[in-house]
Amino acid sequence: MKSKNMSFVLSGLFFAIFCLLIIIVKTVDVATIGPEGTSIGLSHLNGAIHNFFGINNLWKAISEAALVLALCLVAEYAIIGLLEWITRKSLAKVDKYLFCLGGLYAVLGILYVFFEKVIINYRPIIEEGAEHVEASFPSTHTMLIVTILGSVIIINKRYGQISQRPRAPWMNMLMQAFLALLIVLSVIGRLVCGVHWFTDILGGVLLSTALLFALAGCLDIFASKEK
């Protein structure tokens, strides 16, 4: 019970920090340093970091590949849930952690659309194929990768598998280490590739962390009910 409560407390804390970051980005050190005269908060910090790294297409490709893998894992869990529904002939008999994941990914989709419509910050560059500068805060790319791969790590740790085929403990540990490394590389890559400001990446990580703690709390609730 304490673990469940602490997970939700930490989720709320990270979400509060995320909201505070939005306020700071909109009010502190705002200057027109973006393309098309767009105003960016914490302009000296964001500008210095962006100018230091510049544009790196290799890191952009790495982060995009990580997103493809993350979306494939979402599809895998969707297929697992569908197969359980069919074979067990009842939606109520589908593993509860799949409902938690489904809810998490639904919230992710809603947040993705929301921040595409509600502009907090604009990108530091006009990407190829775009007519104008696009929304940048939070980095939804970072948000998706960290949340999806982080959720798989949590499920893998608690249930000892990331698919219907049981895996040896060492394989699970190797998979968790690989996914954790991929998260770190993706966050770094998204910053280094130059398509986001530093605060965009930070916002994506904070929001993802809040979502992952919420997932952990929900899983604790189902685990306590099963016991």
Which pLDDT band, with edges at 50, 70 and 90, does 133 fall under? confident
pLDDT in tens, 101-131: 999 999 999 999 999 888 898 899 887 767 7
Instruction: Name the band, by pLDDT with cuts 50, 70 and 90, for residue 99.
Output: confident
Cβ atoms of 18 and 200 closer than 8 Å? no
Q: Are the CB atoms for 139 and 203 separated by under 8 Å?
A: yes
Q: Give Cβ neighbours of residue 182 (< 8 Å, ≥ 6 apart).
A: 66, 69, 145, 149
| 3 state SS of 14 | helix
CA-based nearest residue to 183, from 124, 141, 155 = 141
Per-state percent for the chain, helix, strand, coil, to nearest 5:
75, 0, 25
**SS3 state at 61:** helix
Residue 84 has pLDDT above 60, yes or no: yes
Q: How confident is the model at residue 37 (pLDDT cuts 50, 70, 90)?
A: confident
- Span between the terminal Cα atoms of the chain, in Å: 12
Domains in the chain: boundaries: 2-226
Judge whether 17 and 30 are in contact, CB under 8 Å.
Answer: no
- Written in H, E and C, the secondary structure of 56-123 is CHHHHHHHHHHHHHHHHHHHHHHHHHHHHHHHHCCHHHCCHHHHHHHHHHHHHHHHHHHHHHCCCCEC
Residue with tokens 């002939």, as numbered in its chain: 89
| Region of poorest pLDDT, from 125-129, 148-152, 182-186 | 125-129
Q: What is the pLDDT of residue 170?
A: 67
Read off the pLDDT of each residue in 138-147 and give the average, rounded to a whole number.
Answer: 94
Which amino acid would we find at residue 128? E
pLDDT of the residue at 162: 47
Does 29 score more than 80 pLDDT?
Answer: yes
Residue 163 — pLDDT band, cuts 50, 70, 90?
very low
Three-state DSSP class for 31? Answer: strand
Is 201 within 8 Å of 191 (Cβ atoms)?
Answer: yes
- pTM metric for this prediction: 0.88
Distance, CA of 22 to CA of 18 (rounded, Å) = 6
